[in-house]
């Protein structure tokens, strides 16, 4: 779908979308349309009691005097309340309401802006919302007839000020990153495994990202017994990928993002039950988010130094798989008693985070992981859980969560949680009890964070996959985390 900005409504628009503020006069464009249709628009709005409340819509098909086959009015709520979220939802809802056969959609946005949100921003976010909702992962549908695939080719934003186009440019790059993450998360595990995932990362070299891939031999030399133990039951070779985007000055600090990339999580010898196990193809959602964020940052040439590190393994039961009771030694030198081979993500992160600190001496480390089912019990699919003892870092992440709409909620991490994973035979065990399962998982990772290192862990298990459509995301991989990390960098590390 090609997105452009224009002064007038193109002829042959299949669908024309006009946002309407609650209890406000029609915009000049809508007044013109109403006049052209002899008052049919205002009459329909009156008959349907459509007053522009947020989320409400009025779909008018085949009006005389109006060239577009379909005129869609979307409620935008009160003008004084307009935020970018409303604008994105309007863009997304329009795409959701577009018939598969439509080729061109136009938005008439004159006068669409608010108090906190300028008309430039509002238009840019309408375009972003539309693009995000237009995502499809249908590469494996070979039997779809042509009329079952969306025909939409062109999206035109009309009537926005000239600042809208430049405001959209970086958002468009960010959407590229979100799409990459959705693609990675959607791929089945027979297609996306550590080596093929690493290859996808190498494609980012085109954007100016430096990509380094470590294999098992190198990781063994480095002493990554924790990560390697998880992958030892798989015939797929484990990989560690580092992606560097050095867009800042030499003297600028380095930000590090670390992602859990379990390309399939069977649970290992502590095998998961069968029903729903297919979901574990997206147990690489943290690594997917980090990869998409790197693509977004490089795509928009962010003026910051950022490194993304992902630990890629497949967790399988096998004659060579690790067993409950095994003791492994991590790269840091600490020993771990494996009590449940299904608590594997933390084992991957332990070595990936340690290596990242050694190699890059980052100012801040943020890890993202689909780490625990317990976080879904706590926060449902509404927020990712943030664990950190750094109050300032929490404030920054929370701010990025709000602006990006990748919502977060702070969760507890205290000495008690560290005590709950003490082992009688090793430095720690890889599970606590059922109680506080997300916090003990965070404490486990915290054992591999150096003294004085600023660090946050974000558990995205409830956020990486959408079970149903939302206004800006069709069901499937959500791309959660890309926008969060992008905004975190923009707000704190780009001057
Ligand atoms: N990948 C899972 C967590 C998960 C569950 C992600 C559901 C997304 C949806 C993780 O590796 C896991 O298995 N965690 C266990 C930990 C337990 C064994 C301590 C869990 O949450 O049950
Ligand atoms: Mn697991
Ligand atoms: Zn897992």
For residue 311, report the distance from its CA to the centre of ligand 2, in Å.
14
pLDDT at position 147: 81
For residue 458, report the distance from its CA to the centre of ligand 3, in Å.
14
CB 344 less than 6 A from any atom of ligand 1: yes
Ligand nearest to the CA of 268: 2
- Is pLDDT of 495 > 90? no
Task: Return the residue matching tokens 């379990």.
Answer: 262
Distance between CA atoms of residues 426 and 410, nearest Å:
30
pLDDT at position 429: 98
- Predicted confidence band of residue 294 (pLDDT cuts 50, 70, 90): very high
**What is the average per-residue pLDDT within 326-343?**
98
Give the ligand 1 atom nearest the CA of 370: 6
- Predicted confidence band of residue 212 (pLDDT cuts 50, 70, 90): very high
Distance between CA atoms of residues 115 and 21, nearest Å:
13
Distance between CA atoms of residues 287 and 37, nearest Å:
52
SS3 assignment, position 243 = strand
Residue 279, phi-psi category: left (phi > 0), alpha (psi -120 to 50), beta (remainder): alpha
pLDDT at position 406: 98
Task: Return the residue matching tokens 């309408």.
Answer: 126
Share of the chain above pLDDT 90, in %: 98
For residue 371, report the distance from its CA to the centre of ligand 3, in Å.
6
CB 343 less than 6 A from any atom of ligand 1: yes
pLDDT in tens, 157-183: 999 999 999 999 999 999 999 999 999
CB 233 less than 6 A from any atom of ligand 1: no
**What is the average per-residue pLDDT within 353-363?**
98
- Is pLDDT of 53 > 90? yes
The set of catalytic residues is 272, 346
| Crossing angle (nearest 10°) for helices 482-493 and 285-299 | 50
CA-based nearest residue to 108, from 193, 10, 185? 10
CB 430 less than 6 A from any atom of ligand 1: no
CB 370 less than 6 A from any atom of ligand 1: yes
For residue 267, report the distance from its CA to the centre of ligand 2, in Å.
5
**What is the average per-residue pLDDT within 91-104?**
96
- Predicted confidence band of residue 255 (pLDDT cuts 50, 70, 90): very high
Task: Return the residue matching tokens 């003490």.
Answer: 422
CB 118 less than 6 A from any atom of ligand 1: no
Give the ligand 1 atom nearest the CA of 431: 19
pLDDT at position 309: 99
CB 342 less than 6 A from any atom of ligand 1: yes
CA-based nearest residue to 384, from 412, 406, 414? 406
CA-based nearest residue to 320, from 358, 394, 269? 269
For residue 21, report the distance from its CA to the centre of ligand 2, in Å.
47
Distance between CA atoms of residues 385 and 407, nearest Å:
9
What is the model's pTM?
Answer: 0.98
DSSP assigned state of 282: G
Q: Which of 372, 377, 478 to mutate to test the pocket of ligand 1 (most atoms within 8 A of CB)?
A: 372
β-sheet bridge partners, residue 479:
none
- Is pLDDT of 123 > 90? yes
pLDDT at position 146: 79
DSSP 101-167: T--EEEEE-TT---SSS-HHHHHHHHHHHHHHHT----TT--S--GGGS----EEEEES--TTHHHH
DSSP 68-88: SSEEEEEE---GGG--HHHHH
**What is the average per-residue pLDDT within 31-41?**
97
Write the CB contacts of 162 (distance below 8 Å, at least 6 apart in sequence). none
């Amino acid at each position: 779908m090609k997105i452009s900005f224009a002064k007038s409504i193109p002829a042959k628009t299949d669908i024309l979308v006009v946002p309407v503020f609650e209890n406000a006069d029609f915009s000049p464009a809508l007044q013109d349309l109403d006049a052209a249709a002899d008052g049919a628009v205002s009459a329909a709005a009156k008959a349907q009691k459509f007053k522009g409340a947020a989320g409400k819509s009025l779909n008018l098909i085949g009006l005389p005097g109006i060239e577009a086959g379909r005129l869609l009015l979307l409620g935008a709520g009160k003008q004084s309340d307009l935020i970018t979220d409303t604008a994105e939802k309007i863009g997304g809802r329009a795409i959701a309401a577009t018939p598969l056969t439509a080729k061109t959609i136009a938005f008439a946005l004159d006068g669409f802006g608010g108090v906190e949100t300028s008309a430039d921003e509002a238009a840019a976010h309408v375009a972003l919302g539309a693009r995000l909702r237009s995502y499809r992962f249908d590469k494996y549908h070979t039997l779809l007839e042509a009329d079952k695939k969306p025909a939409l080719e062109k999206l035109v934003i009309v009537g926005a000020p000239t600042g809208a186009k430049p405001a959209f440019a970086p958002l468009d790059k960010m959407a590229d990153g979100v799409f990459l993450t959705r693609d990675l998360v959607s791929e089945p595990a027979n297609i996306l495994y550590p080596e093929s995932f690493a290859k996808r990362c190498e494609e980012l070299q085109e954007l100016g990202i430096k990509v380094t891939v470590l294999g098992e031999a190198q990781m063994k030399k480095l002493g990554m017994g924790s990560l390697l133990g998880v992958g030892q039951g798989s015939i797929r070779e484990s990989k560690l990928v580092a992606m560097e985007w050095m867009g800042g000055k030499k003297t600028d600090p380095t930000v590090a993002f670390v992602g859990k990339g379990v390309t399939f999580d069977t649970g290992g010898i502590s095998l998961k039950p069968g029903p729903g196990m297919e979901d574990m193809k997206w147990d690489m959602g943290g690594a997917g988010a980090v990869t998409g964020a790197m693509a977004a940052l490089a795509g928009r040439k962010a003026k910051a130094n950022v490194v993304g590190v992902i630990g890629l393994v497949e967790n399988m039961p096998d004659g060579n798989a690790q067993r409950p009771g095994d003791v492994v030694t991590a790269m840091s030198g600490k020993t771990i008693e494996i009590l449940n081979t299904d608590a594997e993500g933390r084992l991957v992160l332990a070595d990936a985070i340690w290596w990242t600190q050694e190699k890059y001496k980052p100012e801040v480390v943020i890890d993202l992981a689909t780490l625990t089912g317990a976080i879904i019990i706590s926060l449902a699919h509404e927020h990712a859980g943030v664990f950190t003892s750094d109050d300032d870092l929490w404030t920054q992440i929370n701010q990025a969560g709000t602006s990006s709409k990748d919502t977060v909620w702070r969760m507890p991490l205290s000495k008690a949680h560290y005590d709950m994973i003490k082992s009688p035979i090793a430095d720690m065990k890889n599970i606590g009890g059922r109680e506080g399962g997300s916090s003990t998982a965070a404490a486990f990772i915290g054992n591999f964070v150096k003294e004085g290192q600023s660090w946050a862990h974000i558990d995205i298990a409830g956020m990486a996959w959408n079970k149903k459509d939302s206004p800006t995301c069709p069901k499937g991989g959500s791309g959660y985390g890309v926008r969060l990390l992008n905004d975190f960098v923009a707000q704190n590390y780009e001057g």
